[in-house]
Structure 1
Amino acid sequence: MLWLLAALGCGGVVLAGRYGWDRRAARRGDAEELEQIRKLADEDVTLLGEELQRLDAHAPGQALDADGRADYQVALDAYEAAQKAVKGIRKSADITAVTDTLATGRYAIVCVHARVRGEPVPVRRVPCFFNPQHGPSTTDVVWTQPKVGTRTVPACAQDAARIRAGDEPEVRFVQFHSRRVPYWEAGTAVAPYGMGYFGAGAGASYVALSSFEGQGGGAVAGWGDPGTQSGGFDAGGMDGGWGDGGGGGDG
């Protein structure tokens, strides 16, 4: 009986040790995921700042009418708010406040460009699916992903033109474990990133996106797939096509 009690006691120590190790590993994983999603958000904020700099160079304040100046101020306010929001990220879901603000800022920049050219201000649409950094989509395109299927997704003018020409769109890639993958294939870890850009008011486009099955087995950005892995991704910027290379947005 004594040996049985001793064995049970040893087993309890082993289980307690394993539980403690698992808890520490989980905390490390959560911390790494949070750091990476902050990096993802910071990259998008930095790009918005660069767009504002280009806007200053091509559309100085004195060339704008009252509406144009108002749109410019919206973009500037969005940039400053997004900077603050990045610093306030405490959990992965907090990135939605950043992405929503960035989408507002990018749309305002598009409005400024339209006013400078004397064109009607476009209706606000959800961002480009292939890379939300490209700004608002301009149209919906039918896109076929190998081994996955065909869906209609919102695209910026440049990506829409690439697809019509038979080329690959410029996709937002992230590091997921040992692979670089499109952000929508990185599992639930980047779901808040996609939800921030596409969650509210996306209408039919959002329905199409949320049902788009990624090559990794999960829905777009991990939406609605509790079994998708969530750890180990890293913000990797945007790559041309499906390989490494330069990207670019509409402006």
Structure 2
Amino acid sequence: MWWFLAALGGGSLALAGRYFWDRRAAQRGDAEELEQIRKLADEDVTLLGEELRRLDTQVEGHPLDPDARADYQVALDAYEAAQRAATRIRAADGISSVTDTLATGRYAIVCVQARMRGEPVPERRVPCFFNPQHGPSTTDIVWTQPKVGTRTVPACAQDAARIGEGDQPKVRYVKCGSREIPYWEAGAAVTPYGQGYFAATAGMNFIPFAGFEPNTGRSFGWGHLEGPTGHDLGDEG
């Protein structure tokens, strides 16, 4: 009997050891994901700050009308709010509020620039799918990715032109292990990054992570545009 009890006790210790090992591994994984998310937030906030400095140069010596000044203030407020929110990220989904605020700031910058040129302000659209740092998209294009399929995605004017000429878009890459991959292939860890950028705008919601397997980054489909009824507007891949 004693050997049976010893074996039972040894099995329990092994199970307990495996539990704590798995728990530590999960904690390490969570910490790495959080570090990745914070890095993405910091990079995008920094880039908005650079865009505002360029806007400062553009408006210097050009009086702004009340609407342009209001848009300018929205952009400044968004930058400051995003800075504060980035420092408070304690979980991966915390980046959603940062990216949503950044999208507001970038749209406000576009509005200021349009007003300075005497043009109507553009429609508020979701950011460029290929890289949300590019700012609001200007059009929806049909894009085919080898081994994945074809979908309609929002794109900035520059990326739309590149694709129209047969070139590759300027994609936002993130680090996954030792590899650099498009952010939409990074799986569940980066999903909140897109959720803030691609919140419902003007009755249309772009879902860039709809076709990726959580926690693996393996793709079995990809993002699509939905109308107000939830109907997929993209081609079948």
TM-score between both structures, scaled by the size of structure 2: 0.87
Alpha-carbon shift at residue 60 of structure 1 (Å): 2.4
More moved, 113-122 vs 210-219: 210-219
More moved, 1-10 vs 13-22: 13-22
- Gaps in structure 2 of 5+ consecutive residues: 224-237
Alpha-carbon shift at residue 28 of structure 1 (Å): 1.4
Amino acid across the alignment from 1:146: P
Distance 1:138 1:159, change over 3 A: same
Q: Report the 3-state secondary structure (helix = DSSP H, G, I; strand = E; otherwise coil) of the residue aligned with 1:128.
A: coil
Counterpart of 1:86? 86
Q: What is the alpha-carbon distance in structure 2 between the residues aligned to residue 199 and residue 63 of structure 1?
A: 33
Alpha-carbon shift at residue 76 of structure 1 (Å): 0.3
Counterpart of 1:184? 184
Q: What is the alpha-carbon distance in structure 2 between the residues aligned to residue 181 and residue 202 of structure 1?
A: 30
Match of 1:217 among 212, 216, 219: 219
Counterpart of 1:242? none
Amino acid across the alignment from 1:49: G
Q: What is the alpha-carbon distance in structure 2 between the residues aligned to residue 27 and residue 212 of structure 1?
A: 26
Q: Report the 3-state secondary structure (helix = DSSP H, G, I; strand = E; otherwise coil) of the residue aligned with 1:154.
A: strand
Counterpart of 1:54? 54
Amino acid across the alignment from 2:113: H
Query: Where does structure 1 differ by over 6 angstroms across 4 or more consecutive aligned residues?
Result: none
TM-score between both structures, scaled by the size of structure 1: 0.83
Counterpart of 2:128? 128
Q: Report the 3-state secondary structure (helix = DSSP H, G, I; strand = E; otherwise coil) of the residue aligned with 2:206.
A: helix
Contact in 2 for aligned 1:185/1:218 (Cα 8 Å): no
Counterpart of 1:42? 42
Alpha-carbon shift at residue 203 of structure 1 (Å): 4.6
Distance 1:125 1:102, change over 3 A: same
Contact in 2 for aligned 1:154/1:205 (Cα 8 Å): no
Alpha-carbon shift at residue 63 of structure 1 (Å): 2.0
Contact in 2 for aligned 1:111/1:122 (Cα 8 Å): yes
Distance 1:212 1:27, change over 3 A: closer
Alpha-carbon shift at residue 148 of structure 1 (Å): 1.1
- Gaps in structure 1 of 5+ consecutive residues: 222-251
Counterpart of 1:152? 152
Amino acid across the alignment from 1:80: E
Q: What is the alpha-carbon distance in structure 2 between the residues aligned to residue 116 and residue 130 of structure 1?
A: 28
* Aligned-CA RMSD value: 1.9
Q: Report the 3-state secondary structure (helix = DSSP H, G, I; strand = E; otherwise coil) of the residue aligned with 1:63.
A: coil
Q: What is the alpha-carbon distance in structure 2 between the residues aligned to residue 5 and residue 167 of structure 1?
A: 69
Q: Relative contact order, CA 8 A, sep 6+: which one is greater?
A: 1
Counterpart of 1:114? 114
Counterpart of 1:206? 206
Contact in 2 for aligned 1:151/1:212 (Cα 8 Å): no
Q: What is the alpha-carbon distance in structure 2 between the residues aligned to residue 36 and residue 210 of structure 1?
A: 17
Q: What is the CA deviation profile of residues 8-52 of structure 1, one whole-angstrom value per residue up to 9, with x for unaligned ones?
A: 101111111111111111111111111110010110000000000
Counterpart of 2:96? 96
Q: What is the alpha-carbon distance in structure 2 between the residues aligned to residue 149 and residue 83 of structure 1?
A: 37
Counterpart of 2:13? 13
**Percent sequence identity over aligned pairs:** 71
Q: Residues 218-233 of structure 1: matches in 2 within 5 Å? A: 218=220, 220=222
Q: Residues 22-33 of structure 1: matches in 2 within 5 Å? A: 22-33=22-33
Contact in 2 for aligned 1:148/1:213 (Cα 8 Å): no
Q: Residues 62-73 of structure 1: matches in 2 within 5 Å? A: 63-73=63-73
